[in-house]
Amino acid sequence: MRKLLFILIVASMFGSGCISIKSEQRTPTLLGTVQASQEQLMAEVNRYARVGSMSAKMDLKFEDNSFAQFGSKEVYRSADGQVVVQRPASILLKVQVPFIKSDVAQMTSDGERFRVAVLQAGNCSNCKKFVMGTNKADYTALQKNLDAVDGAISGDIKQNVNAFSNLRPQHFTDAMLVRPTSDEYLYAVSTIFQEEEDIREPKRSQLRKVTRGYYLLDEYARAAEGQLVIVRRFWFDRNVKIRLARQQIFDARGELESDITYGIEGKLGPSSDYDRLPLQILVTRPQERYSMRLTYQTPSEVKIGNTYPESAFVLENSWGLEVLDLDAKLAEVLANRPPSAKPADRPNANSSTRFQR
């Protein structure tokens, strides 16, 4: 009887129109997808890799900042930049105050070591430094042990070590100069769909929320023990045409090191030789907790293919700034640690392997 009563109640509700058995709800628009082979995806990576050197004026936008390298993230959140990059891993970056074109900082990396000259730092006179370090060095121990070293490091140096030890000019070389694919690595292709919000569309547009399809091209290296370790992951937008939309770079532990997003494509330089390249690049460093957006100011004036001397990527302390050697400070901190606290027996994440950059 209870079952019969329940059926009669439900039937009367639907029959009387009290409840609609269906209703329209807006759902993200499923964008169309095109097909591509693994060879085509790898060819697209290598098309980006044709750029061997570049010189460009850029707008720099610092975001999500614990990025205090320029003294005041509020003051220098936006800046003008002059960038010169050259394979395999050299970069010169000059940061300027907009409008007055006064240098805030200059930094270089020759692929092995980096140097940073902080020329303006707001009201912090002690923040003007000439910082040197090694690209592959892990300064985590230096940061974590600054407070534990009694009297070994003064307060102003401690402040600047925290500010500068995460900075690597080479964070931007792999973003601007995509490395080509190589027979040394193994590659695998998969697909993924994800919901996104297209900020280019009006807020009330049905195309504001979309479901976009991607190809994922994963690059693997074989470690000494035989296991595979991911090195890079490329995301290709499949809507209308294949477009390299994102590059993720991983460290030796498989942790995400750089998350690089590429904006709309256009022509760089005065000729048509370098068409369909990104006009904006967003570099996110999750471990260092900062992002920087790079936008070409005048894409047609970008210079591609010039050869620059090695000396162009070794910054000299011509300003007579106080030198802050991060490697020396790291050695000083480790020397003052108790023997049991020294990480001598701990494997280094940046250990030398053929797939470590």
Average pLDDT over residues 24-30: 75
What local confidence, expressed as pLDDT, does residue 163 receive? 40
Is the pLDDT reported for residue 119 higher than 70? yes
Instruction: Name the average pLDDT for the chain.
Output: 81
Is the pLDDT reported for residue 38 higher than 70? yes
Q: How large a percentage of the chain has pLDDT more than 90? A: 49
Residue 300 shares a structural domain with residue 332: no
Residue 330 shares a structural domain with residue 271: no
What local confidence, expressed as pLDDT, does residue 220 receive? 98
Residue 197 shares a structural domain with residue 229: yes
Nearest C-alpha neighbor of 160 from the set 325, 313, 335: 325
pLDDT-derived band at 1 (thresholds 50, 70, 90) equals low
With 0-12 CB in 10 A as exposed, 13-18 as middle and 19+ as buried, what is 113? Answer: middle
Average pLDDT over residues 144-152: 48
CB atoms within 10 A of CB 351: 10
Number of compact structural domains in the chain: 2
Q: For residue range 159-213, list pLDDT tens digits in order.
A: 444 444 455 788 899 999 999 999 999 999 999 999 988 777 777 777 788 899 9
What local confidence, expressed as pLDDT, does residue 102 receive? 78
Q: How large a percentage of the chain has pLDDT more than 70? A: 73
If you search the block for the tokens 């592959």, which residue do you land on?
136
Residue 127 shares a structural domain with residue 228: no
What local confidence, expressed as pLDDT, does residue 50 receive? 95
What local confidence, expressed as pLDDT, does residue 333 receive? 81
Tell me whether residue 336 is in a domain: yes
Residue 195 shares a structural domain with residue 148: no
pLDDT-derived band at 36 (thresholds 50, 70, 90) equals very high
Residue 136 shares a structural domain with residue 282: no
Q: Which residue has the higher pLDDT, 2 or 80?
A: 80
Residue 199 shares a structural domain with residue 116: no
Q: For residue range 307-319, list pLDDT tens digits in order.
A: 999 999 999 999 9
- In this predicted structure, which of 49-53, 96-100, 230-234 has the lowest mean pLDDT? 96-100
Q: For residue range 84-117, list pLDDT tens digits in order.
A: 999 999 999 998 877 666 788 899 999 999 999 9
**Helical axes 326-335 vs 155-164, angle rounded to 10°:** 120
What local confidence, expressed as pLDDT, does residue 113 receive? 93
Residue 283 shares a structural domain with residue 316: no
Q: For residue range 55-93, list pLDDT tens digits in order.
A: 999 998 876 544 344 444 433 457 889 999 999 999 999
Residue 243 shares a structural domain with residue 330: no
Residue 57 shares a structural domain with residue 170: yes
Tell me whether residue 1 is in a domain: no
Phi and psi at residue 256, to the nearest 5°: -65, 125
Residue 283 shares a structural domain with residue 190: yes
Is the pLDDT reported for residue 17 higher than 90? no
Tell me whether residue 133 is in a domain: yes
Per the structure, the complete domain to which residue 234 belongs is given by 38-45+183-304
Phi and psi at residue 185, to the nearest 5°: -110, 165
Tell me whether residue 12 is in a domain: no
What local confidence, expressed as pLDDT, does residue 170 receive? 84
Tell me whether residue 28 is in a domain: no
Residue 220 shares a structural domain with residue 275: yes
